[in-house]
Structure 1
Amino acid sequence: MARAETVVGDRWTVLILRELFMRNHRFEEIQAQTGATPQMVAARLKALEGDGLVERRPYSTRPLRHDYHLTEKGEAFYPVLLALRAWGETWLKSPEEGRAVQYTHRSCGKPAGLGPVCESCGLPLRREDLTVKLSPAYREERQARSEAFKASR
C-alpha cells in the first residue's frame, strides 16, 4: 500500500484520475473540474505520466498542445476509484442527497450500483461496460465550475 500511495495518495491526483475516467482529456477541463491550480495539475499529470498511468497525445500542432489519456496501467485504477466512490456515497452523504452518478451496466442493461461488481448481475465492472447518467444537481455543479473557470480567464 505504501508504494501505491506514493503514486496516487494525493487528493489532486485522485481528482485528476476521476476527470480522465470521465473522459475529460484537456488540461483546462481537468483544472476547471478539480479546482487545482495550473501548477498542481501540471505537476500531477507529469508525475502520472512518469509513473506510466497517463500518456500525452498531441491534438494541435500550432501551437503544440497535448491532451491526456489513461494507459492500461491507469485504466487498472478504475476499481479503486469505484471503491472510493462507494465508500463516499455510503459514509459521507445523507440518503436524501441521492447518488451524483448513476451507472448502467451494458452487459445486463440494469443499474450497476456502487461497484466493483454489478449489483444486478454480479459481473466485474469495467469503465467501457458502463453508461453514465449524472444527477441534475451534479451536472449543474460541473457546469458551474466550467463556466466559472472560463469567466476567470
Structure 2
Amino acid sequence: MVEIVLGTALAAVGAGVAVGFAGLGSGLGQGFAASGAVGAVAEDNSMFARGIIFSALCETQAIYGFLIAILLMVFSGLLGGGAGLSTAAGIVAIGSGAAIGFAGLGSGMGQGLAAGSSVGAVVEDNSMFARGIIFSALEETQAIYGFLIAILLMVFGGILA
C-alpha cells in the first residue's frame, strides 16, 4: 500500500476536478443536443441517426477529462507503484485537472447548444447537416486547449517524468 502524501492527495483532487467538470459539461451538452434531436425525430423519423451523431459530439470532453484523471492517478502513485508526489507536484496536478475540467465544462455545454440547434436546422433543410457538424465541432477547440495545457503542466511539472 502506498502511503498517501499531501501531493498525492492533491493529485486525487485534480483527477476529480478533471473528470467531474469535464463530465458535467459533456453531460449537459449531450442533454441539450439530445433534446433537439428528440424534437427533430418527432417531426421526421429519419432524423434518428443524425440526431445520435449530434448528441455524441459532446462526449469527447468527458473522454479528455477521463484520460487526464487516469494519468494523474497512475503517475501520482494512487493506483500503486509510485512513491507519491511532492506538494508542489500535487498543486500542478490540481492545475492540470482544472485546465481540462473547466475547459471541458464550457466546451461541452457550448457544443451541445450548437448541436441542438443544428439538428433542428437539419430537419428544416437536409443540406445543413455538414454545416451543422462544423458549427458544432468549433466549440471542441476549447476542450483541446485545456487538454493540451493539462498535458504540458504534467510534463513540465514533473508528474509525467
TM range (shorter): under 0.3
TM-score (normalised: structure 1): 0.25
TM-score (normalised: structure 2): 0.25
**Which has the larger strand fraction?**
1
